[in-house]
Amino acid sequence: MLSVRDLEITFSSQSTTVHAVKGISYSLDKGKTLGIVGESGSGKTVSGLALMGLLPPTALVEGEILFNEENILKANKKRLQHLRGSEIALIFQNPLAALNPVFSIANQMVETICLHHNVSKKEAREQAIALLDRVKITDPQRRIDDYPHQFSLGMCQRIMIAMTLSMKPALLIADEPTASLDVTTQKEILELMDELKDEYKMSMIFISHDLGVVLERCDEVVVMYLGNIVEQGKPKDIFLNPQDDYTKKLIDAIPKIQS
């Protein structure tokens, strides 16, 4: 489904050049979950944005990103606009930054559904209410007309997941979707995403700094450090027998339950 080959991303300005991603390669099969783990600045988020064609004009991107055998890096603007949402969708780590504070949830969800599907506003609203119910928003018929500030951070993330599902993407990129949430809400959101992934038969790229979370729910794991992939493989293999010193440090950082 997805094959990334020798992906390099460089940001240049008048005074400096930053080599953010340095020739990484990985693949993802249909219905599977790939975890990309690493500390801030390792290049994991930048590589995820490249899959969506969302990097700024200052970025030089080389290599290949093959999605269903189509090289996204050669797609024109119109094709990229179609791919975003309809085929590949992204959940950001801060839902409040992704939701527009001056528009109601209904306005934002209905607009998204109408943009990607040939339905009336009435049908789109009905779909939006059903999706909000699916992600466990209480009383969705009433709350759909509320604004983002009237929801908790965890509820806003649920709304963003519902909005993403409304586009019915084949590939979902989750960029640290629980980073700003408390531990209890994190668990609820992660379990919800696992459930919805299986139900909608999506492939997923799960980007995180938390190796423990990634090892628990991914079919394959990629460990990134300073723009490079330092290790990749099956979660069990990496957890039980890490080969790279950086991976060992990430594993050592996982909290242990004291007996």
Report residue 219's pLDDT band, with 50, 70 and 90 as the boundaries. very high
pLDDT in tens, 169-210: 899 999 988 877 888 888 888 888 888 888 888 999 999 888
**Mean pLDDT of the 73-88 span:** 86
The encoded tokens of residue 86 equal 């309809």
Report residue 103's pLDDT band, with 50, 70 and 90 as the boundaries. very high
pLDDT at 93: 80
* Interatomic CA distance for residues 241 and 224, integer angstroms: 17
| CB distance 224 to 42 below 8 Å | yes
Q: Which residue has the higher pLDDT, 84 or 203?
A: 203
Given a cut of 70, is residue 235 above it in pLDDT?
yes
Report residue 259's pLDDT band, with 50, 70 and 90 as the boundaries. low
Domains and CATH numbers, the chain: 29-49+77-252 (3.40.50.300)
pLDDT at 187: 86
**Choice among 26-30, 54-58, 176-180, 197-201 with the minimum mean pLDDT:** 176-180
pLDDT at 253: 81
List the one residue out of 237, 247, 250, 229 whose CA is nearest residue 27: 229
φ and ψ at 192, to 5 degrees?
A: -65, -45
Round the average pLDDT of the chain to a whole number and report it. Answer: 90
* Interatomic CA distance for residues 136 and 104, integer angstroms: 18
**Mean pLDDT of the 123-138 span:** 93
pLDDT at 73: 92
pLDDT at 258: 64
pLDDT at 140: 95
Given the DSSP bridges, would you call strands 220-225 and 203-208 parallel, antiparallel or unpaired? Answer: unpaired
pLDDT at 123: 95
- Cβ neighbours around 16 below 10 Å, total: 7
Instruction: Characterize 111-140 residue by residue with b for buried, 16 or more Cβ atoms within 10 angstroms of its Cβ, and e for exposed.
Output: bbbbebeeeeeeebbebbbebbebbebeeb
* Interatomic CA distance for residues 169 and 150, integer angstroms: 28
**Mean pLDDT of the 114-119 span:** 87
pLDDT at 164: 87
